[in-house]
Amino acid sequence: MSDQTQIRTRFAPSPTGYLHIGGARTAVFSWLYAKRYGGKFILRVEDTDNERSTEDSIQQILDAMAWLGLDYDEGPFRQTDRWEIYHSFIKKLLDSGHAYRCVCTREDLDEKRELMQKSGAKPMYDGSCRGKDIPADVGKPYVVRIAGPKDGKTEVEDLLRGTVVFDNSELDDMIIMRTDGSPTYNFCVVVDDADMKISHVIRGDDHLANTPRQLVIYKALGLKPPKFAHVSMILGSDGKRLSKRHGALSVLEYRDMGILPDAFLNYLTRLGWSHGDQEVFTLDELKSKFDLDAVSKSASRFDLEKMTWTNAEHLRKMDNKALVKISGNAFEGIPGERLETLLEMLKPRARTLVDLAASARIYLEDGLEYDEKSVTRFLTSDTASLLSELADRLEIANFGRKEDIETVFNEYLEEKGLKLKILAQPVRVALTGGTVSPGLFDIMAFMGKDKCLARIREGARRGRG
């Protein structure tokens, strides 16, 4: 495969906080696109902002990607390690006249911006230092600006949106190097994407307006731009921009909520991408089916409810070994066959790993938490005698076979002339503390005679008051 046809995508987060849903989705799209076409996925940390970048953020982003299984073929590169490269290109632009030094102060700039804003124009730099040929030894702090085109148009060819045209008069001469000598974002992105031979830049919609500016730099540098795909943003459930208040949680928090990585990937990909009517995808399906042509152009809202549903779907289909592995120590020390039984009982009822572990505790641990309402309703003085009689009967049952338990149950019911319906809920509350559980005989067989009888008798005790 030649250089031109090799697909190379990248994820380029700035380490100024944790990885949230929005960032995660562009990462996922980029990663899947590379997987889909047998390309490479590159991770690049955009840490040129000294003030806000933190090592802790980098680690969090790395952790989140590792949890999701977003493996990268190259990197993580760090822009702070690439200073010489940027400076060599800045020098090149300065020498060729595509960039110039500017000594305007921040105060000047702010003032100008405000004035333009008031007059109804787009606030931009007016280019007052352009053409002055200010030398490096002016004796004043200076920035370097790109000398962009003053007229004409710049066209962005976007894979999702077609040709988007910007009037060059809308673009000002942006700063590519700060007073302190550090290069700026728009410049580094161009240099890096070109240097790393990125073929497809898949990024958020919020960067669409940056793209013509970057195109100006590509042109000045004589470099060939990659293909662009600007994916729409994810909004909060109220349609507002995602903020900490609604939905912009760290990806890692979904892990802590008991969401499966594959389910997270499934939901996030499906949010803004579709493949006919299919809702549930395995990881392999995503890797083989994802493509940019079916990516939606409109913004979509994050819906925790549907993510949880997607998670439940994955949970049910997951094989037990994998489930135990991902659950950490929740099922530690339980023999294989017993574990299988437990998971088969609990899986169809669980929505998250947290649910699953919590429901398992009822049957594994000695102590029991009682739901007050259920107790009042079902553990009454009427049911108390039934429960203790039943417990006595069950002494002879073989708890190794749930059919045996059922037989004893039925014999007792017949004698009393009662329906199972009457006895089922009181027994369930006695055994589990609540009114919701898997089949009665299933949980009894699982818990064993001692625990069952103890709990039923305790239930009777509570019934008597």
Residues 420-439 that bind RNA (CB under 7 A): 420-421, 424-425, 428, 435-439
Among 101, 270, 314, 462, binds RNA (CB under 7 A): 270
Considering beta carbons, is residue 39 or 443 the nearer one to RNA?
Answer: 443
How far apart, in whole angstroms, are the C-alpha atoms of residue 234 and residue 338?
43
Give the footprint of RNA on residues 23-42 (CB under 7 A).
none
Among 87, 178, 377, 461, binds RNA (CB under 7 A): 178
Among 216, 271, 286, 390, binds RNA (CB under 7 A): 271
Among 6, 168, 184, 407, binds RNA (CB under 7 A): 184
Among 165, 337, 396, 414, binds RNA (CB under 7 A): 165
Q: Does 272 bind RNA (CB under 7 A)?
A: yes
Please name the residue that has the structure tokens 């909004």: 235
Give the footprint of RNA on residues 122-161 (CB under 7 A).
122-125, 141, 143, 161
Q: Does 17 bind RNA (CB under 7 A)?
A: no
Kindly state the smallest distance separating residue 293's Cβ from RNA, in Å: 7
Give the footprint of RNA on residues 290-329 (CB under 7 A).
294, 296-301, 303, 305-306, 309, 312, 316
How far apart, in whole angstroms, are the C-alpha atoms of residue 252 and residue 48?
25
Determine the residue type at 465.
G
Considering beta carbons, is residue 297 or 338 the nearer one to RNA?
Answer: 297
Among 71, 73, 114, 167, binds RNA (CB under 7 A): 167
Tell which residue, 242, 237, 213, has the closest CA to residue 225: 213
Contacts for 96 with CB less than 8 Å, ≥ 6 apart = 220
Q: Does 235 bind RNA (CB under 7 A)?
A: yes
Kindly state the smallest distance separating residue 105's Cβ from RNA, in Å: 5
Return the range that interacts with RNA (CB under 7 A); candidates 35-43, 128-136, 170-178, 247-255. 170-178
How far apart, in whole angstroms, are the C-alpha atoms of residue 423 and residue 203?
60
Phi, psi of 200, deg, nearest 5:
-135, 120
Look up 244 and say whether it is catalytic: yes
Considering beta carbons, is residue 150 or 336 the nearer one to RNA?
Answer: 150
Q: Which of 132, 150, 244, 416 is catalytic?
A: 244
Q: Does 245 bind RNA (CB under 7 A)?
A: no
Return the range that interacts with RNA (CB under 7 A); candidates 238-246, 328-336, 383-391, 392-400. 238-246
Query: Among the residues of 150-291, which ranges form H helices?
Result: 185-195, 211-221, 251-256, 261-270, 283-289
Answer whether 281's CB lies under 8 Å from 313's CB.
no
Q: Does 354 bind RNA (CB under 7 A)?
A: no
Answer whether 345's CB lies under 8 Å from 446's CB.
yes
Considering beta carbons, is residue 106 or 224 the nearer one to RNA?
Answer: 106
Among 126, 205, 371, 458, binds RNA (CB under 7 A): 205
Among 59, 105, 288, 398, binds RNA (CB under 7 A): 105
How far apart, in whole angstroms, are the C-alpha atoms of residue 119 and residue 228?
34
Answer whether 310's CB lies under 8 Å from 266's CB.
yes
How far apart, in whole angstroms, are the C-alpha atoms of residue 299 and residue 319?
35
Phi, psi of 342, deg, nearest 5:
-60, -50
Kindly state the smallest distance separating residue 413's Cβ from RNA, in Å: 10
The secondary structure element, H or E, covering residue 301 is strand 300-301
Among 132, 150, 197, 240, binds RNA (CB under 7 A): 240
Q: Any idea what DSSP says for residue 370?
A: P
How far apart, in whole angstroms, are the C-alpha atoms of residue 74 and residue 198?
12
Answer whether 48's CB lies under 8 Å from 11's CB.
no
DSSP H helix total and E strand total for the chain: 19, 12
Return the range that interacts with RNA (CB under 7 A); candidates 64-72, 164-172, 247-255, 449-457. 164-172
Answer whether 312's CB lies under 8 Å from 305's CB.
no
| Residues known to be catalytic | 244
